[in-house]
Amino acid sequence: MVTLAAYSYMALVPIIQPPIMRLLTTKKERMVRMEISTVKINDGMIKTFPYMIVILTSCLSPMSIPLIGTLMFGNILATSGVTEMLAKTAKETLAGLVTLLLGIAVGSTMKAEIFLRADTLLIFALGLLAFALSTVIGILVAKGLHAAGLKINPLIGAAGLSSFPMSARLVHIMGQKEDRHNYLMMPAASANVSGQIGSVLAGGVLLDLTLRFGNIPSVWVGVQILLQGMGRVLLALVLIGICIYLLRWLMNRISKPAST
């Protein structure tokens, strides 16, 4: 039931997000152009990044390893430089087959007597509410950063979700409707990938805490689980950011020719 509800509201992303984007942003804000600079990334950092994510995740959210590990495995295939055939197969043939099989598997179980039930519809409604609130909070945070003087288009906040790459595409399309020369795809895709990693971490942390506490006896215990989960996810994201910064600094130092 959870799978059915999740895939159903995820398919409604192009319907859910645009009204919220238009409601919470002005035309002037949607026209903000973000600076896109080319940064040279060391090959060592590109190859080390997926391993670093897996190690940090395993320490802070062990339950999310199967999903984050699969995600990073694709990254490893693409960046290792020695698995070009496997990377091409995973990106083209395997991706299409998995999508087809997943669609058939989910669609074949989507019967009226299963989907049109009170508990399934409740899960569906909660998913819609969570998705809408995430979009609202993301946009408001981006608006705050924009108001603080940072050159950030508030629409970018709507891309910080797990719905990759749909949210990034929507942000780009919404920006180009106001200014067709405004290219938001790269910043939006970056936020979308971050949202995807954060969502996996959050799911693993909450699952771990829920299993540890067992049956939740009260609302207060549920709030404690939520706060602990948010704290651990925030800690994980901060550590990932710090490690990326340190790794980039270290790789740049190593790649510089030694002065004689």
Residue 148 has pLDDT above 50, yes or no: yes
Spatial separation of the C-alpha atoms in residues 80 and 87, rounded to whole Å: 9
Return the pLDDT at 255: 67
Residue 145 has pLDDT above 80, yes or no: yes
Return the pLDDT at 4: 64
Contacts 24+ apart (CB under 8 A), 177-184: 177/30, 178/27, 178/30, 178/31, 179/30, 179/31, 179/33, 182/31, 182/32, 182/33, 182/153, 183/33, 183/36, 184/34, 184/153, 184/155, 184/156
Q: Dihedrals φ, ψ of 163, to 5°? A: -80, 70
Spatial separation of the C-alpha atoms in residues 88 and 141, rounded to whole Å: 38
Return the pLDDT at 154: 93
Mean local confidence (pLDDT), 92-111: 78
Mean local confidence (pLDDT), 47-56: 86
User: How many other CB atoms are found less than 10 A from the CB of residue 3?
Assistant: 13
pLDDT over 90 percentage in the chain: 15
Taking all residues of the chain, what is their mean pLDDT, rounded to a whole number?
82
Return the pLDDT at 180: 87
Residue 6 has pLDDT above 50, yes or no: yes
Structure-token pair, residue 187: 């910043």
- The model's pTM: 0.79
